[in-house]
Structure 1
Amino acid sequence: MLSAGPSLSQEAPSDQDLKVTGQRMPAAEAPRSSTCEVLARDPFLRASGMASRAYLPTRPTRSPDYSAPPQIPEGSPLPELSRTRFAVQSGADDNAPDTFGPSALDGTAAADGAAASLDQNSLASAIAACRNGYIRGGGDIGDGSTGYISANSGASENGVAALAAEARVAAANGRYVQARAFIASRDQTLPMGFALFDQGRYREALGWFRKAAGKLQMREGGDEAALFVGKITLQGLGAQSDPVEGVKWLKKAATAPFNPQNETPMFDPRQPDRNTAVGEAAVILGNVYLNGFGPVARDPQEARKWFDRASDVGHVPGAKKLGDLYAEGIGIPRDMARAVTWYTRAAKLNHPNAQTALADILWTGEEGVAQDRKAALGWYQAAARNGNAAALYALGRAYDLGEGVKPDAELAMGFYKTAALGGSAPAKAAMGTYFYEGKLLAKDDATARKWFEAAAAGNDPDGMFNLAAMLAKGEGGDKDVDKALALLRRAALQGHPNAPLAIAALERQKR
């Protein structure tokens, strides 16, 4: 007899491939100094100097369907560009102060009416320092590591004669940096390349990106230019694409200079695929070599090298991907201990899928990895805080079955519901079971059937089996034995233990 019993199988967490997604960059991209400026508005961070060690903003990746016709026909007039780079100012604010000092923006007044903030706490000065530190072609923020003297400082002009030769060189270097910043801030080649790319005019965009790559240094936007020359050449020109040449350009972008002190990208666990030009180029190279691409041969060792580079330049999913390679034995012997090392690295940086993958291993234990359910629950909870549906389902299952925790049916149902709404197919099957059995919730076969349909649509074998059971008996809707058999066959292919016997039973009924 078929029954819509509770879901007892545990689904392995789904992985997010590090392939470039189809998201498009917004019309305005945040300047490199934006995070530093936001943090500088916090008085404590400003006073401690922590704001100047801010993380670099990231952006969604541009990865359109290159085979689609352009939105604007090729050969049309060039699009109009904003007066400012990416619709934001690129260099330091001409009106911002160049040295630290009291500012009217500091709201606290001393007894004599003057600003009470110390010089280094000046908001305006701190923001100016952020902008100067991230100026196109500039160096680190405020630590003197560049060896440059600001070209508009007294030391670089009025006092040059009194300085040693090394100081004169530093002053000249400072003027060079500001000159490069001037050139970059007025560059139109890179914005034009992006504008044409967004219109689907890839051949025309390629020319502008090549100009930008020849004009701009890496930290001035040359990294983005090299990345997009590589992306378009790799696959954006149809039959005229040249993957070998594309890989050369991607390597230029992926090996651009990187300073972890002020170029480590921000990481948002709810938008894990956001990236920088350097990180995106490394991820694309990893995927190219992992699978092979046209004349570029598959090379798992080279793929690991580029995923490692992505991780090194701060792209947290790069570490997660390396964990996947070791866990699945892709191109290398399976090594769960090394997988755990990489998953832990990403998990500590708040990557939800890495936290869930690590928890799955610790929950059962693997060769070379001891079982530790207490640690596993901690990682599931960390991932659940970021809305990870697989982690929420795992927590629901733990409280449902009393594994590693005290059983709590209501808490389990809450986790299942949140996971189901977040897209977890096994959690949807669990919700269907609640409505089918009438425990904690009023029995409602129609609603149960809808949840099982949703689970089956998500390829969950328990959802398929339970939906087939209801279809075979006409529970919650019309009876449909043929559809029930089709679902049972799909469930059997996925290893559902009861599906083969159920198929035999239904086939006997049809005779």
Structure 2
Amino acid sequence: MQSLGAVKVTGQRNRPIDASAVVAAKNKVLSNQFASSCGFMGGYSAADDDVTLAYLRSFGSLDEDFSDLSPDGNATAPAASASSPGAGEIPSTPSAACAGSDRRFAAGRNWIARKDKSLTQAFDAYEAGDYAEARGRFEEGWKKLGYEEAALMLGRLHLLGLGTPVNTPKAIEWLNEVIDARYHPVNDRLRYDPKKPDQINTRIEATLLLARTYLTGQGTQRNPEEALRLWRKALDFGFEPANTLIGQAYLSGVGTPVDGLKAVEALTASAAAGHTPAMLLLGQLYHHRAPKQPPGIALDLEKAGAYYGAAARAGNLEATYAFARMLDLGEGTPKAPEKAVVLYKEAAVKGHADAQNALATFFYRGEVVPQNYATARQFFQAAAQRRQPDAMFNLAVMLAQGQGGDKDMAAAYAWCALSKGLGHEQAAAALPAIAAKLSPDEKSRADAMLKPAPKKS
């Protein structure tokens, strides 16, 4: 019996420091959440990875709207760098060997840090929305002790124009202060933990922020080559998911010529470190279902299934659906619909529209599971509400025939029309037949569903 294989996930690279130990001054002085009005400049979130990858796939379109990078709600405060002391904290091991003068400087710096409140006051002002005061306090903290957090926040403030006019060149200067600080490749290197993907240090956050600025051209000229250089720098700092961005850059030709082999090399390293978006991309490449399939990557269904399976076990819904579909169709493995149903359900209950539609068909036909029109209709409707064209048409059929619930010709017509609008050929063929059976009242109600009245202000 042919196996889909397995992907080994190590979550480690070299011997860097443990990410959970990268907790210094900022965790002492900050609340868990801040920057409610910071918008897209909030702390790093692993959720940004998928947005950036989607943007990379469509790079080059001047009509592309990148405003989706603005997350809703408060941003989580990023983990502090191990090298950044705060009030009451003793500085960590220096980045390089210390001379006597270095030790005397460190002792003096520590004495100041014990008494200094500038960083605490800066973040208090920031949380209160007093950005001008925050900027002054951050500048004070930078002048006194060179807090990396202060430079990072000053970069954000200038980039967004909070407490100061928008000044992207000045923002870039501040971010480079963090990126170019003294760095020890062993002591200061982050250990990426795939179970805590949002836990990064200040240096990496500044690098990713500057890369995104160059990628999008926010307040400066687009420079994808510089974005790619900064992703490589983030990788050197220990941020393993940067390899996923590098791999996607090679796939899309962002800042470098398209190179499928280099893309696979980078993505394989990222997947081995435990980054699930890299696993999904590799599955799509070997399955020949990648958004942009480069030449030279051979179809390998066994590898595709292995990477889909690894990403599914890590909780990726798209990979869970893709792996279920391979099992359902017998791609790279003997057909196993009973296993596919389990995976479809796992993704369906978490809101994956294609999985909801697939699971509904099992209940509709009574395959593997007992036939249940009511449950099928429920899942078709859930998927239809997420704009899944097949589910829209299937729901329309059940509504027109009164299967799994009350018959409703008006709703059947509306869902069939919406499915047709998304290019569904069967819906286009069935729509005239449904329309011919509508009473005037049902036609009026269907039109109201398709063109709801504007809400009164």
Q: Same fold judged by TM-score > 0.5? A: yes
From 340, 358, 361, the equivalent of 2:264 is 340
From 24, 49, 54, the equivalent of 2:18 is 54
On the 8 A contact 1:61/1:275 being kept in 2, the answer is: no
Deviation string 1:62-93 (CA, Å, 9 cap, x unpaired) is 553348xxxxxxxxxxxxxxxxxx9x9x979x
Aligned to 2:207: 282
From 111, 118, 138, the equivalent of 2:93 is 138
Q: Residue 54 of structure 1 aligns to which amino acid in structure 2?
A: D
Cα distance in 2 between the residues matched to 1:423 and 1:270: 22
Cα distance in 2 between the residues matched to 1:300 and 1:497: 40
Q: 3-state DSSP class of the match of 2:241? A: helix
| Displacement after TM superposition at 1:483 (Å) | 4.4
> Residues 381, 263 of structure 1: CA spacing in aligned structure 2 closer, same or farther, 3 A cutoff?
farther
| Displacement after TM superposition at 1:489 (Å) | 5.0
From 295, 301, 304, the equivalent of 2:225 is 301
Q: 3-state DSSP class of the match of 1:262? A: coil
Q: 3-state DSSP class of the match of 2:215? A: helix
Aligned to 2:169: 244
Cα distance in 1 between the residues matched to 2:423 and 2:185: 47
Q: 3-state DSSP class of the match of 1:305? A: helix
Cα distance in 2 between the residues matched to 1:246 and 1:329: 27
Q: What is the Cα-based RMSD across aligned positions, in Å? A: 3.4
Work out whether 1:214 is the aligned partner of 2:143. yes
Work out whether 1:464 is the aligned partner of 2:392. yes
| Displacement after TM superposition at 1:490 (Å) | 4.6
From 104, 112, 118, the equivalent of 1:183 is 112
> Residues 510, 251 of structure 1: CA spacing in aligned structure 2 closer, same or farther, 3 A cutoff?
farther
User: Where do residues 341-380 of structure 1 align in structure 2 (5 Å cutoff)?
Assistant: 341-364=265-288, 366=293, 367-380=295-308
Work out whether 1:412 is the aligned partner of 2:340. yes
> Residues 507, 63 of structure 1: CA spacing in aligned structure 2 closer, same or farther, 3 A cutoff?
farther
Q: 3-state DSSP class of the match of 1:261? A: coil
Q: Residue 138 of structure 2 aligns to which amino acid in structure 1?
A: F
> Residues 260, 503 of structure 1: CA spacing in aligned structure 2 closer, same or farther, 3 A cutoff?
farther
Cα distance in 2 between the residues matched to 1:421 and 1:403: 24
Work out whether 1:323 is the aligned partner of 2:247. yes
> Residues 214, 440 of structure 1: CA spacing in aligned structure 2 closer, same or farther, 3 A cutoff?
same
Q: Residue 36 of structure 2 aligns to which amino acid in structure 1?
A: P
Aligned to 2:373: 445
| Displacement after TM superposition at 1:329 (Å) | 4.2
User: Where do residues 255-274 of structure 1 align in structure 2 (5 Å cutoff)?
Assistant: 255-274=180-199
Q: 3-state DSSP class of the match of 2:318? A: helix
TM-score with structure 1 setting the length: 0.64
Q: Residue 139 of structure 1 aligns to which amino acid in structure 2?
A: P
Aligned to 1:253: 178
On the 8 A contact 2:157/2:164 being kept in 1, the answer is: no
Cα distance in 2 between the residues matched to 1:489 and 1:333: 43
> Residues 194, 359 of structure 1: CA spacing in aligned structure 2 closer, same or farther, 3 A cutoff?
same
Aligned to 1:122: none
Aligned to 2:69: none
TM-score with structure 2 setting the length: 0.70
Cα distance in 2 between the residues matched to 1:257 and 1:508: 75
On the 8 A contact 1:57/1:266 being kept in 2, the answer is: no
| Displacement after TM superposition at 1:355 (Å) | 0.6
Cα distance in 2 between the residues matched to 1:342 and 1:313: 16
How many residues of Structure 1 are paired with residues of Structure 2 in the alignment?
Answer: 370
Cα distance in 2 between the residues matched to 1:495 and 1:332: 35
> Residues 494, 306 of structure 1: CA spacing in aligned structure 2 closer, same or farther, 3 A cutoff?
farther
| Displacement after TM superposition at 1:505 (Å) | 4.6
Structure 2 unaligned spans of 5+: 1-14, 40-79, 440-457
- Of 355-364 and 331-340, deviating more is 331-340
Cα distance in 2 between the residues matched to 1:482 and 1:330: 48
Larger-gyration structure (1/2): 1
Structure 1 unaligned spans of 5+: 1-49, 68-85, 95-130, 149-169
